[in-house]
Structure 1
Amino acid sequence: MSTTTTSTTTKTTLANPNLHGHGRMRLDGTDKQFGDWRDDLARDGYAVVKGAIPRERAMKYADQMYSWLESFNLGYDRNDPSTVHKDKLPVINEKGMCLAYGLSHEDFVWGVRSEPGVVGAFEKVYDDEDLIVSFDAINFQFPNRTDLPPNKPWPHQDQDPTKHGFRCMQGLVNLLPNGPDDGGLIVCKGAHLLSEQFHHDNADEERIPAWTPEWFGFTDRGMKWLADHGCEWTKLTAEPGDLLVWDSRTPHYNLSPKRDQPRFAIYTCFMPVADATQEDLRRKKDAFDRRVGTTHWPNARHTGSNVAQRDGKPDPHNRDRPVNDPKLSERAFKLTGIPYIKDDSATIAQTTVVA
Structure 2
Amino acid sequence: MDHLSTREERKARWYSKVMPRFLQIVPAQKRQDILNGTNDNLTSIPFSWIQKDVTDDPSSITDLLHTCLRKDGFVVISGVLSDDECQIALNQAWDWLEVASRAEDSLQASETQQTCPWIDRNDVTTLRSGIFPTSLEGGVLPFHGSGHSTAAWAIRSHPSVRAIYEALFQTDDLIASLDGMVLWHSHQVLMDSGWFHVDQNPREKPEFCSYQGLLNLLPVTPCTGGNVIVRGSHDLFPDHYRNHPDPNCREFYNMRLDELNGDDWMEIDPNDHAAVDPQKVISLLLEPGDFLLWDSRTIHCSHPPSATSFACLPPQLVRAATLVTMMPTTWANSDVLQKRKDAVQRQRTLSHWANRVAPLGAECDEQVQLEAARVDFIRQWQAATRQVILCNWDDLSPYQQSLVVGKEARNE
TM-score bin, normalised by smaller chain = 0.7 to 0.9
Matched position secondary structure for 1:265:
strand
CA deviation profile, 1:302-349 (whole Å, cap 9, x unmatched): 12479x9999x94897223664143322222110116544996xxxxx
Q: Is residue 91–residue 309 contact of structure 1 (8 Å, CA) maintained in 2?
A: no
Which amino acid in structure 2 is aligned with residue 256 of structure 1? Answer: P
1:337 aligns with 2:390: no
Range with greater deviation from structure 2 (176-185 or 70-79): 70-79
Q: Is residue 144–residue 371 contact of structure 2 (8 Å, CA) maintained in 1?
A: no
1:266 is displaced (CA, Å) by 0.7
**Aligned counterpart for 2:326 among listed residues 270, 276, 286:** 270
**Aligned counterpart for 1:232 among listed residues 280, 298, 302:** 280
Instruction: Tell me the equivalent position of 1:166.
Output: 208
Summarize the alignment of residues 228-307 of structure 1 with structure 2, pairs less than 5 Å apart: 232-257=280-305, 258-259=309-310, 260=313, 262-304=318-360
1:300 is displaced (CA, Å) by 2.9
Instruction: Tell me the equivalent position of 1:103.
Output: 146
Q: Is residue 278–residue 342 contact of structure 1 (8 Å, CA) maintained in 2?
A: no
Q: Is residue 294–residue 304 contact of structure 1 (8 Å, CA) maintained in 2?
A: yes
Range with greater deviation from structure 2 (164-173 or 34-43): 34-43
Summarize the alignment of residues 176-195 of structure 1 with structure 2, pairs less than 5 Å apart: 176-195=218-237
Which amino acid in structure 2 is aligned with residue 213 of structure 1? Answer: D
| Aligned equivalents of 1:341, 1:81: Cα separation in 2 | 44
Instruction: Tell me the equivalent position of 2:267.
Output: 217
Identity of aligned residues (%): 27
CA deviation profile, 1:39-94 (whole Å, cap 9, x unmatched): 33221111111111222111111122123222345432335554323633232345
| Aligned equivalents of 1:309, 1:144: Cα separation in 2 | 32
Range with greater deviation from structure 2 (291-300 or 315-324): 315-324
TM-score, L = length of structure 2:
0.66
Alignment gaps of 5+ in structure 1: 1-31, 345-355
Instruction: Tell me the equivalent position of 1:206.
Output: 252
| Aligned equivalents of 1:215, 1:109: Cα separation in 2 | 22
Cα distance change of structure 1 residues 85 and 118 upon mapping to structure 2, 3 Å threshold = same
Cα distance change of structure 1 residues 126 and 343 upon mapping to structure 2, 3 Å threshold = closer
Cα distance change of structure 1 residues 39 and 182 upon mapping to structure 2, 3 Å threshold = farther
1:215 is displaced (CA, Å) by 1.6
1:184 is displaced (CA, Å) by 1.5
Matched position secondary structure for 1:154:
coil
Q: Is residue 171–residue 246 contact of structure 1 (8 Å, CA) maintained in 2?
A: yes
| Aligned equivalents of 1:171, 1:213: Cα separation in 2 | 20
- Aligned length in residues: 307
Q: Is residue 127–residue 187 contact of structure 2 (8 Å, CA) maintained in 1?
A: no
Q: Is residue 176–residue 404 contact of structure 2 (8 Å, CA) maintained in 1?
A: yes
Structure with bigger helix share is 2
1:120 aligns with 2:163: yes
Matched position secondary structure for 1:90:
coil
Matched position secondary structure for 2:79:
coil
Q: Is residue 79–residue 290 contact of structure 2 (8 Å, CA) maintained in 1?
A: yes
CA deviation profile, 1:99-155 (whole Å, cap 9, x unmatched): 222221122211110111111111111112111001102111123433x6x424210
Alignment gaps of 5+ in structure 2: 1-59, 103-116, 383-387
Matched position secondary structure for 2:336:
helix
Matched position secondary structure for 1:298:
coil
Matched position secondary structure for 1:100:
coil
Summarize the alignment of residues 131-170 of structure 1 with structure 2, pairs less than 5 Å apart: 131-146=174-189, 150-162=191-203, 163-170=205-212
CA RMSD of aligned residues (A): 3.2
Matched position secondary structure for 2:80:
coil
Cα distance change of structure 1 residues 204 and 91 upon mapping to structure 2, 3 Å threshold = closer
| Aligned equivalents of 1:185, 1:75: Cα separation in 2 | 28
CA deviation profile, 1:208-231 (whole Å, cap 9, x unmatched): 444862121101232x12256x86
CA deviation profile, 1:181-221 (whole Å, cap 9, x unmatched): 32211000001022134124328323344486212110123
| Aligned equivalents of 1:328, 1:34: Cα separation in 2 | 29
Matched position secondary structure for 2:252:
coil
Structure having greater relative contact order (Cα 8 Å, sep ≥ 6): 1
Instruction: Tell me the equivalent position of 2:38.
Output: none
1:63 aligns with 2:91: yes
